[in-house]
Amino acid sequence: MSKLVNPHGGGALKPLLLTGNALQTELERAKSLPKVRISSREVGDLIMLGIGGFTPLDGFMTHADWRGVCDGYKMANGLFWPIPITLSTDEVTAQGIKTGSDVALVDGETAEIMATMKVTEKYTIDKAHECMMVYKTTDTEHPGVKMVMEQGEVNLAGPVKVLSQGEFPTKYADTYMTPAETRALFESKGWATVAAFQTRNPMHRSHEYLAKVAVEICDGLMIHSLLGKLKPGDIPAEVRSAAIAALIEKYFVKDTVIQSGYPLDMRYAGPREALLHALFRQNYGCSHLIVGRDHAGVGDYYGPFDAHHIFDEIPKDALETKPLKIDWTFWCHKCGGMASARTCPHEPADRLLLSGTKLRKALSENSDVPAEFSRPEVLAILRDYYANLKDDEKVEVKLSGHSAK
């Protein structure tokens, strides 16, 4: 019997990806169905449904689910869920779809047929309400709000049969893993407690410090990189992966850390996204999620530790995966090493605050990076990436919010 945490909902993993003859039959059938083009965010959500990352969902949410999740973290059936998983389309496409009929879901960028869906409901939502409840703002400068405001006017609900994982298994063959695969790997290593480290940045010394705290507490650590879309100026997944691999090889004890990746786009929903990160890490087999400063945040829309506090506001039995809450971390010149606000008694003037945004800004401007900021092996990989960017690929990195401190 597995010693790992149970999948969310208490049952078995529920992957919706078809295989073998069933896959070929459904792919053939999908070719003749009405097509609905879906966004990058929806493709990521769909693949997570396919691989069991969003267990126990069977498809995209109904209006009652949407309302319950926005207003009270609960679907219509009472299941805890922190962020709506919805699919939208334009009014003209929606008018041509009858409730109860099947459609094919097509990647809007590649035109690949990703899934079939039985449309059980068509509904409209108050987008501003979703943004206020999930993102705590309606400011369209917020990338998550922008995604919601630009989505189609009609949501489609219903169960899905997933037909593809897109490019992830081939493009990221060294890091992309399904929940079934990570669980099997953890069990092969004899791990019962596993911490997940969520990252969309290359790891600097603060990240390394957080990771090593987790290694002290748990049997193992999974550095879990987002492989979907980020905002302009962020570092691509393949570069981050190489930098993380160098860090693991040089600065962690062998067989205490694995690197993996997952197919979602960032929503930048701060505390709500921290809950979603914990929920699907439970499906991946992780008992803990490291939650540091401004988890899944952007700008100054959230307080630095709102993602800590939100775990105290949900029912204790909502999630089996628990947060490892870690305070401000920094390099302290007087301590002579990494420390946190809970362990270091010295003044702010003695501290070097580290952030991924500061690191990206320095590298993008070819500025000096203090030795305390990042390991030299990591910096070498990142400097090579920035040195090879074309002018039209360069994005000005601005310091704002907590990263500017």
Tell me: do 204 and 310 sit in the same domain.
Answer: yes
Mean pLDDT, all residues of the chain: 93
Q: Would 313 be classed as within a structural domain?
A: yes
Of the three residues 137, 165, 193, the one that is the final residue of a domain is: 165
Instruction: Summarize the confidence of residues 181-185 as an average pLDDT.
Output: 98
Q: How many domains does the chain have?
A: 2
pLDDT computed for residue 371 by the predictor: 87
Helices 376-387 and 356-364: angle between axes, nearest 10 degrees: 50
Q: Would 43 be classed as within a structural domain?
A: yes
Tell me: do 114 and 54 sit in the same domain.
Answer: yes
Q: Would 8 be classed as within a structural domain?
A: no
Tell me: do 177 and 134 sit in the same domain.
Answer: no
Tell me: do 136 and 221 sit in the same domain.
Answer: no
pLDDT computed for residue 405 by the predictor: 54
Cα–Cα distance, 295 to 335 (Å, whole number) = 26
Q: Pick the closest to residue 86 from 157, 14, 162 (CA basis).
A: 157
pLDDT tens-digit map of 195-204: 999 988 888 8
Cβ partners under 8 Å of residue 210, min gap 6: 197, 290, 292, 326, 329
Instruction: Summarize the confidence of residues 152-175 as an average pLDDT.
Output: 97
Return the beta strands (E) in 63-182 as ranges.
87-89, 102-107, 113-118, 121-123, 154-162
pLDDT tens-digit map of 324-372: 999 889 999 999 999 999 999 999 999 998 877 788 888 888 888 888 8
CB 235 within 8 A of CB 379: no
Tell me: do 128 and 60 sit in the same domain.
Answer: yes
Residue type, 163: L
- The string over 271-301, giving b where at least 16 C-beta atoms fall within 10 Å of a residue's C-beta and e elsewhere, is bbbbbbbbbbbbbbbbbbbbbbbbbbbbbeb
Return the beta strands (E) in 179-273 as ranges.
194-199, 220-226, 257-262
Q: H-helix or E-strand containing 238?
A: helix 237-251
pLDDT above 70 for 66 = yes
Tell me: do 237 and 367 sit in the same domain.
Answer: yes
Q: Would 140 be classed as within a structural domain?
A: yes
Q: Would 378 be classed as within a structural domain?
A: yes
Residue 395's pLDDT band, with cuts at 50, 70 and 90, is low
Of the three residues 165, 185, 208, the one that is the final residue of a domain is: 165
Share of the chain above pLDDT 70, in %: 96
pLDDT above 70 for 396 = no
pLDDT above 60 for 122 = yes
Give the angle subtended at the CA of 402 by the CAs of 396 and 404, to the nearest 5°. 45
Tell me: do 74 and 178 sit in the same domain.
Answer: no
Q: Would 48 be classed as within a structural domain?
A: yes
Tell me: do 125 and 254 sit in the same domain.
Answer: no
Which residues have a catalytic role annotated? 200-201
Please name every residue paired with 194 in a beta bridge, in sequence order, or none if there are none. 220
Tell me: do 298 and 396 sit in the same domain.
Answer: yes
pLDDT computed for residue 392 by the predictor: 67
Tell me: do 135 and 179 sit in the same domain.
Answer: no
pLDDT above 60 for 404 = no
Instruction: Summarize the confidence of residues 267-282 as an average pLDDT.
Output: 97
pLDDT above 70 for 131 = yes
Q: Would 4 be classed as within a structural domain?
A: no
Cα–Cα distance, 45 to 62 (Å, whole number) = 15
Of the three residues 165, 191, 206, the one that is the final residue of a domain is: 165
Tokens of 305: 């530790």
Overall pTM > 0.85? yes
- Which residues constitute the domain of residue 232? 171-262+268-404
Cα–Cα distance, 129 to 127 (Å, whole number) = 5
pLDDT above 60 for 167 = yes
Q: Would 6 be classed as within a structural domain?
A: no
pLDDT computed for residue 294 by the predictor: 86
Q: What is the CATH number of the domain that holds 209?
A: 3.40.50.620
Tell me: do 349 and 335 sit in the same domain.
Answer: yes
pLDDT above 60 for 403 = no
Instruction: Summarize the confidence of residues 34-60 as an average pLDDT.
Output: 98
CB 102 within 8 A of CB 166: no
pLDDT tens-digit map of 209-246: 999 999 999 999 999 999 988 767 778 889 999 999 99
Residue 398's pLDDT band, with cuts at 50, 70 and 90, is low
Tokens of 152: 């189609």
Tell me: do 190 and 251 sit in the same domain.
Answer: yes
> Strand 35-38 to strand 102-107: parallel, antiparallel, or no bridges (unpaired)?
parallel
Instruction: Summarize the confidence of residues 157-180 as an average pLDDT.
Output: 97
pLDDT above 90 for 102 = yes
